[in-house]
Structure 1
Amino acid sequence: MANSASGMSVHDECKLRFLDLKAKRNYRFIIFKIEEKIQQVVVEKLGQPEEGYEDFSSSLPDNECRYAVYDFDFITDENCQKSKIFFIAWSPDTSRVRSKMVYASSKDRFKRELDGTQVELQATEPSEMSIDIVKSRAM
């Protein structure tokens, strides 16, 4: 089903891989890309469980928008092991204006397709999604 605001549809693989991340923990992160020619959100990269936050953040392109989910493991002040799934809207200042508009207008609908994300981050540069910001938002 296409998004009425942007005409964007979501490939089934996006939902299937997200369920693998959420339920089975088969992946640490998933990076999604909008294929503008076919007006569809597709999976661009799957991060393996042993990959860390640095692997994830270095996988985002410097000058192109992306959506991503990251399964962040942490230990609470009470010494409990927890995990939160972050939805990240990556929209660098250097990306094309049209691309930023398409990603912005499709974000809410795409995020609804991924039932189970717990924290949303929007970033235009790496410092806005640093590991320290992720930790503070997870707590």
Structure 2
Amino acid sequence: MANASSGMSASDECKLKFMELKRKKTHRFIIFKIDEKLQQIVVEKAGGPDESYEAFASSLPEKDCRYGVYDFDFVTEDNCQKSKIFFIAWSPDTSRVKAKMLYASSKDRFRRELDGVHYELQATDPTEMDLQVIKERVN
């Protein structure tokens, strides 16, 4: 089902990889990109379960938009091991206007298809999605 505002639909692989991240913990993160030729959102990269947040952040292109999900593990004040899934809409100021518009118009519907996301961030530069920002959101 295509997104009415942008014409972009999520590939089946997007939902499959997200389920693997959420249920099986086989991925630490997933980077999604819009393939304009296919008119579809596709998986660009999936990071293994041992990958760091830095590996995720460095996988985002410096001058192009992407969507990313990151499974953040942390310990609560009660000493409980927890995990929260973050959805990050990466839209750097240096990316093309058309790309920014395409990603912005496709985001809400795509985000809803990823059932189980706990937090959402919009970032235009790396400081807006710094590891410290992630930690502050879960506390």
TM-score of the pair, normalised by structure 1: 0.99
- Which residue of 1 is the match for residue 15 of structure 2? 15
Q: CA deviation at 1:133?
A: 0.2
Partner Cα separation in structure 1 for residue 135 and residue 9 of structure 2: 32
Shift of 1:79: 1.1
Task: Report what 1:71 is aligned to.
Answer: 71
How big is the shift at 1:138? 1.4
1:87-98 counterparts in 2 under 5 A?
87-98=87-98
| One-letter amino acid matched to 1:17 | K
Other-structure match for 1:37: 37
Distance 1:63 1:23 in 2: 32
Q: Work out the CA distance in 1 between the residues paired with 2:134 and 2:117.
A: 14
**Could you tell me how far 1:38 is from its partner in structure 2?**
1.4
SS in structure 1 opposite 2:99? helix
Matched residues, number: 139
- Find the counterpart in structure 2 of residue 56 from structure 1: 56
RMSD: 0.5
Measured after TM superposition, the shift of residue 9 of structure 1 is 1.1
Equivalent residue for 1:138? 138
The superposition leaves residues 1-56 of structure 1 with CA deviations (integer Å, 9 ceiling, x where unpaired) of 10000011110000000000000000000000000111100000000001110000
**Equivalent-residue separation in structure 2 for 1:138 and 1:45 (angstroms):** 25
One-letter amino acid of the structure 1 residue matched with residue 50 of structure 2: E
SS at match of 1:95: coil
The separation in 2 between residues aligned to 1:81 and 1:18, in whole angstroms, is: 21
Matched, 1:26 2:26: yes
Measured in 2, the distance between the counterparts of 1:5 and 1:20 equals 28
Letter in 2 for 1:88: I
For residue 107 of structure 1, what is the aligned residue in structure 2? 107
Structure 1 runs (4+) deviating above 6 angstroms are: none
TM-score of the aligned structures, taking structure 2 as reference length? 0.99
Amino acid at match of 1:34: I
Structure 2 unaligned regions, length at least 5: none
Identity of aligned residues (%): 68
Equivalent-residue separation in structure 1 for 2:9 and 2:55 (angstroms): 28
Q: Which runs of 5+ in 1 are unaligned?
A: none
